């Protein structure tokens, strides 16, 4: 967590609106974008990860992060170490359980849960987050009980 930006290290309370975007660094123009494309992508990824904790912004954040998960190289550690994000992803998955029997899952709910699963797969497959994810209690909800 030492490498996380301060905005994500102690994130918002779960379900609370996300904080405003980070201000530009001192000495830079407010209208000037970050110097490199990689910096701009990380700022975008960080904001989308923060948006996962806001139920009103979550659907768009799930979609955008899922589509761009290959572009954001450090997305898995960012998701894993950001406050409330894994809980938000699990909430998306658990929320569709009642729609499975009888089968009444809407296409919108199906897309949301697929995007949440794709982001958890990203966490589970990253070398820095794989072992903590498998050792944590988060993935136990995916195991079949005999």
pLDDT at 11: 44
63 or 4, greater pLDDT: 63
Q: Looking at the domain assignment, is residue 13 inside a domain?
A: no
pLDDT at 142: 58
Q: In this predicted model, what pLDDT tens digit does every residue of 82-113 receive, in sequence order?
A: 999 999 999 999 999 999 999 999 999 999 99
pLDDT at 22: 44
Q: Looking at the domain assignment, is residue 73 inside a domain?
A: yes
Please report, for the domain that includes residue 137, its CATH number. 1.25.10.10
Q: Looking at the domain assignment, is residue 2 inside a domain?
A: no
Helix (H) or strand (E) holding 58: helix 58-67
Q: Looking at the domain assignment, is residue 1 inside a domain?
A: no
Q: Looking at the domain assignment, is residue 94 inside a domain?
A: yes
Q: Is 84 left (phi over 0), alpha (psi -120 to 50) or beta?
A: left
Q: Looking at the domain assignment, is residue 99 inside a domain?
A: yes
Inter-axis angle of helices 58-67 and 85-95, nearest 10: 100
Query: How many structural domains are present in the chain?
Result: 1
Q: Looking at the domain assignment, is residue 95 inside a domain?
A: yes
The lowest-confidence range among 90-99, 118-127, 133-142 is 133-142
pLDDT at 136: 82
Q: What is the DSSP letter of 141?
A: G
Place of tokens 């990824």: 45
Inter-axis angle of helices 85-95 and 107-125, nearest 10: 140
**77 near 130, Cβ under 8 Å?**
no
Report d(CA 105, CA 100) in Å as an integer: 6
Q: In this predicted model, what pLDDT tens digit does every residue of 12-68 receive, in sequence order?
A: 444 444 444 444 444 434 444 445 666 676 678 999 999 999 999 999 999 999 999
Q: The domain containing residue 127 runs over which residues?
A: 38-142
Q: Looking at the domain assignment, is residue 5 inside a domain?
A: no
Report residue 73's pLDDT band, with 50, 70 and 90 as the boundaries: confident
């Amino acid at each position: 967590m030492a490498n996380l930006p301060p905005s994500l290290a102690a994130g918002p309370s779960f379900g609370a609106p996300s904080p405003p975007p980070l201000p530009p660094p001192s000495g830079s123009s407010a209208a000037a974008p970050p110097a490199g494309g990689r910096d701009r992508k990380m700022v975008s990824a960080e904001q989308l990860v923060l948006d996962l904790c806001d139920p009103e912004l979550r659907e768009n954040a799930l979609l955008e992060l899922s589509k761009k998960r290959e572009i954001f190289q450090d997305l898995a550690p960012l998701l894993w170490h950001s406050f409330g994000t894994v809980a938000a992803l699990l909430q998306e998955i658990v929320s569709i359980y009642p729609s499975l029997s009888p089968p009444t899952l809407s296409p919108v709910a199906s897309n949301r849960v697929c995007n949440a699963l794709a982001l958890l797969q990203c966490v589970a497959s990253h070398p820095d987050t794989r072992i903590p994810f498998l050792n944590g209690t988060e993935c136990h909800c995916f195991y079949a009980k005999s």
